[in-house]
A and B are shown apart, each in its own frame.
Chain A
Amino acid sequence: MTKEEALYEFLIRLGDNALILGQRLGEWCGKAHQLESDIALTNVALDQIGQARLLLTEAGRIEGKGRTEDDLAYMRGEMDFRNNLLVEQDNGDFAHTIVRQYIFDVFQYHLLKGLQKSSNDFLKAYADKSIKEVTYHRSLSHDWMLRLGDGTELSHQKMQDALDDLWEYTGELFEMTEADDVLIAEGMIPKLSDIKKIWEEEVEATIQEATLKVPDTLGFMAYGSRKGIHSEYLGYILAEMQVLPRSMPDAKW
């Protein structure tokens, strides 16, 4: 695997995470339980879409086949997407959305911290730019974790249910492939195994503070996205996201 191939895979992975999570959060527009949460979630969605644009544009440049951010977002099929299974999971209730968000925010925050030391100019600039907004995302979802986990009996139960449902998708965030090895050797990216340790410490401390329990999945974790194998949700997300550019190519806003 060449350095360029490895970098393309890594950029697609990050870009697809941002794109799919942004699309998912956008589904809350007009539907959240109060205007404040509606705007907060869609703000995060727009931040993620902004990151996806940077990452997919750079991925297209590195690939060198002339594909634009739009080509990559709208013209790839499910098997070519490399987003983690976590971000494509259903919004569910507000508790599921918050738990999914918090798990991802802590992961993204520490990944960006690592990328701020990257030897690659783009990755470093991307991390420096995005760390501010992700710091806010993490602070927001952390606040909700505590208030809902340590809230009423009902909110506590809903949060625990969400944690139990989503925990099996956390292992895959840290799965490393040949691309990681190549880029780590170049000093371009941090080791996901190192990030896993910091992530576990932080997330488990929050779960405890929120009076919730770290789920026991009996060692089971869901894998697949590194090879393009997704859960049943991604196809529906892509159908909704891609229908316009695919049915009317080159449509302008």
Chain B
Amino acid sequence: MSTDQGMLWEVFVQAKPGIPHKHAGSVHAPDAEMALKSARDVYTRRREGTSIWVVPANMISATTEQDADSFFDPADDKVYRHPTFYTIPEGVKYL
């Protein structure tokens, strides 16, 4: 694909009201309005969504592989941070 397809936008789709938007993929578009339309056509045409966010890909800051040790490893041995000692009441969704 040529590089002359417009800016790259990351697409976040909310599947149902009240739950978080999840990353779905990306689209090329010249501006936000067209990016929303492209995202609608590419990622929600089978009723996957109730809301869409698009974000310019270059506005997203990400951790790098070098950060992994200091960012994530310390959480490995802290099992007490998981709420596994409670029973979840029936009927609670999206936990």
The segment out of A33-41, A61-69, A83-91 that lies at the interface is: A33-41
- Report chain A residues within 8 Å CB of B33: 143
Query: Chain A's nearest CB lies how many Å from the CB of B38?
Result: 4
| Cα of A35 to Cα of B27 in the assembled complex, Å | 9
- Kindly report which residue of chain A lies nearest to residue B40, judged by CB atoms: A136
Chain A residues close to B by CB (< 8 Å): 33-36, 39-40, 43, 139-140, 143, 147
Interface size range on B against A: 10 to 19
- Report chain A residues within 8 Å CB of B5: 33-34
| CB-based contact A36/B30 at 8 Å | no
Please classify the interface of chain A as helix (H, G, I), strand (E, B), loop, or mixed, using the class held by over half of its residues: helix
Please classify the interface of chain B as helix (H, G, I), strand (E, B), loop, or mixed, using the class held by over half of its residues: mixed
| CB-based contact A36/B27 at 8 Å | yes
- Kindly report which residue of chain A lies nearest to residue B37, judged by CB atoms: A140
| CB-based contact A143/B1 at 8 Å | no
Chain B residues close to A by CB (< 8 Å): 1, 5, 27-31, 33-34, 37-38, 41-42, 45
- Kindly report which residue of chain A lies nearest to residue B39, judged by CB atoms: A36
Query: Chain A's nearest CB lies how many Å from the CB of B41?
Result: 4
- Report chain A residues within 8 Å CB of B45: 39, 43
| CB-based contact B34/A143 at 8 Å | yes
| Cα of A36 to Cα of B26 in the assembled complex, Å | 10
- Report chain A residues within 8 Å CB of B42: 35-36, 39
| Cα of A147 to Cα of B28 in the assembled complex, Å | 14
